[in-house]
Chains A and B, each alone.
Chain A
Amino acid sequence: MNSADFRSKAQSLVKLRHESGINRAISDSLLIAWRNLIRLSRTPAVIVSVLLFPILFFSGFLLAFERLMSFQGIDYVQYLVPIITLQAMFFTAMGSAVTLAKDIKTGMLQRCRAMPISRAAVLGGLILAYLVRAIAATIILLTFAHLYGFRFQTFIAVLGYLALTLLFTTTAVAGYAVFALVLRQPDLVNSLLIVPYAPLLLLSTGFSPAENFPQWLQPIVQVQPVSYTAAALRALVNGTELLVPLFWSLVWLIGLLVAFGLIAVRLYQRVS
C-alpha cells in the first residue's frame, strides 16, 4: 500500500468514529464515572475523609458555639447542618480537582483525547462519580445530625434539600475542574485548593448570621452563592420563607455551572 492508500484508509476510519451525540456523551460519561468510582473505592484515605470530616466539623462547631449562639436566640443544630453539608460538598469537589490533576500529570487526559469518546465525557464522568460520593457524604452527615436532634419539618423538604445540595456539588466540581485544568500540577492544585474554598465557605452566613459581621463586610457576605444556598437549605429544613434565597441560589449555581462547564470543555480540548 502506498501513502495515499493509507491516508484514505485512515480517513475512512476517522469517519466511522462517533464522538458526538447525546447518547454517546452519556454512555462515555458513565464509563469514566465508573472508572473514577473504582479509584475512589480503592483509596481508604478518601473514604475516611468522606465519612469522618463532616462529622468532626459538625461536632466541633456545635460543641464550641451552641451555647453562645443560643444567647442570640439561634438553635445552632438546625442552623449549622446546611453549611456543614456544603462544606462536605466542597471537600468532594476538592477531591475531584486532585483526581483530575493526577489524570493530567499521568497523561490519562491526553489518552482520552486521542480516543473516540465524547468531549464532554471526562468532565461529565468526573461530576457523576463525585455526585455519588456527595450523596453518600450527605446521607451520613444527615443521619449523624439526626442523632444530635436535627429535624426536617416535612419529608418532601428532604428531597429538595438533596436536590439543591447536588446542584451545588455539580457547580463546585465543574469549578474545581477548571481550577485543575488551569493549574495542572497536582502539588500546586493540592496546596491552592483552599483558595476558593475558604473565603466562599467561611465568609458566608452559614456559620454565623450576617448581623455578626463587621458592617462593611455584610453586603459581601450576604450576596455570595454559598450564603444564598445555605439560606435556602435552612429554609427547607425549618419550613420558613424559601422563595428569595432559593431564587438567588439557583441563579448563582446555574449561571456558574454553565460558565464553568463551557470553560472546562474548552480547556480540555486544548490539552496537549
Chain B
Amino acid sequence: MTKSSTASNLVAKRREGGITRTLNDIALITQRNLLLDIRNPAVIVGATGFPVFLMLIFTASFARVVVPQGSYADYAQFLVPLSIVQGLLFSTTSIGTALYNDLDSGMDTRLRTLPIARSALLAGRILGGAGRLLAQVIIITLVGYFIGFRFQTGILSIITFLLLPVIFASAFSWIAVFFAVKAKAAESVQVSMTPWLLPLTFLSIGLVPLEGFPEWLQGFVAINPVSAAAQALRGLAIGGSTIRFVLETLLWSVAITVIFSTLAIRAYQRRNV
C-alpha cells in the first residue's frame, strides 16, 4: 500500500456530516467556550456586574421620578425585566467579540483542518453564550430580590421568566456573530452593536412607561421588541395576561435567529481563512 492511498483512505473515513456528528461537535465547542468563561472571572464580572450595577443605580436615582407616589421596591419590580433584557443584549457584544478572537487567533483555521462539522464554531459560540446569559439572568434576578423585586406567580412562570430572555438575547447573539464574521478588528463588533442597542433598550417601556415618552416617539416604543420582552417578563413575574407578549417576544426571537443565522453562516463559509 502506498502512502497516498493511506491518506485518501483516511480522508474517505472522515465523517464531517450527519446530524449526530454535528450535534456532538457543537456540544464539544460549547463545552470549551463555557470552560473558558468559567476560568476567566474578569469576563464574568464585566458581563454581569455592569447590568446589576445599572439596575441598582437606576433604582436609586430614578424611582422617585418614574413612580413619585411609590417606593423604591415598586420601581425595582418595574425595572428588573429591563435590566435583564438590557444586560443580556449588551452581553451579546462580548459573545461576538469572543468569536472574533477565535477567528483571529487561528483557532478557526485549526478547526477547519479538523474533521468536525462546519457549523460547530458558530453554533458552539451561540450555545456557550446562552449558558453565560442564563447565569446572568439568575444573578440579576437574585440581586433584584434584594431591592424588592418579587415573583407573584407559579413555578412555570418563573422558569419561563428565566429562559425567555436567554432565547431572546441568543437571537441577538446571531447578529453579533454575523458582525464578528464580517469584522476586521476586535473593536468592530462593539461599534456595530452598541449604536443601535442603546436606543433600542432606552426607548422601550422598560425604564419609563409609554406615557413618559414624547408622542412622536410612542409608536416606535410600542413596537420595539425590547418593550415586548420587558412586558412579557413583567407579566411572568406578577401575573396577568402575558401570553400575547411572550408569543410576540418568541416571534421576534425566531425571526431574528432565522435571518441572522443564515447571514452569519453564509458569511462564515465565504470568509477567507
Q: Interface readout for A200-236 with B: 1 if CB under 8 Å, 0 if not?
A: 0011000110011110010000000000000000000
Q: Smallest distance from the beta carbon of A5 to chain B beta carbons, Å?
A: 50
Q: Does B195 lie within 8 Å of A56, measured CB to CB?
A: yes
Q: Which residue of A lies closest to B50 (CB)?
A: A194
Q: Does B62 lie within 8 Å of A65, measured CB to CB?
A: yes
Stretch at the interface among B14-22, B52-60, B241-249: B52-60
Q: Does B202 lie within 8 Å of A61, measured CB to CB?
A: yes
B156 at the interface (CB under 8 A from A): no
* A/B pair count, beta carbons within 8 Å: 102
Q: Does A212 lie within 8 Å of B61, measured CB to CB?
A: yes
Q: Does A192 lie within 8 Å of B61, measured CB to CB?
A: no
A48-B191 contact in complex given A192-B42, A217-B60, C-beta closer than 8 Å: yes
Q: Which residue of A lies closest to B198 (CB)?
A: A56
Bound together, the chains give a CA A199 to CA B57 distance in angstroms of 8
Q: Does A202 lie within 8 Å of B191, measured CB to CB?
A: no
Q: Give chain B's interface residues, CB within 8 Å of chain A.
A: 42-43, 45-46, 49-50, 53-54, 57-58, 60-66, 68, 72, 185, 187-188, 190-191, 194-195, 198-199, 202-203, 207-208, 211-214, 217
Q: Give chain A's interface residues, CB within 8 Å of chain B.
A: 43-46, 48-49, 52-53, 56-57, 59-61, 63-69, 71-72, 187-188, 190-192, 194-195, 198-199, 202-203, 207-208, 211-214, 217
Task: Give 28 CB contacts A-B under 8 Å.
Answer: A43-B185, A44-B191, A45-B190, A48-B195, A49-B191, A49-B194, A53-B195, A53-B198, A56-B195, A63-B213, A64-B212, A64-B213, A65-B62, A67-B214, A71-B68, A187-B42, A191-B46, A194-B46, A194-B49, A194-B50, A198-B50, A198-B53, A198-B57, A203-B61, A207-B62, A212-B65, A214-B60, A214-B72
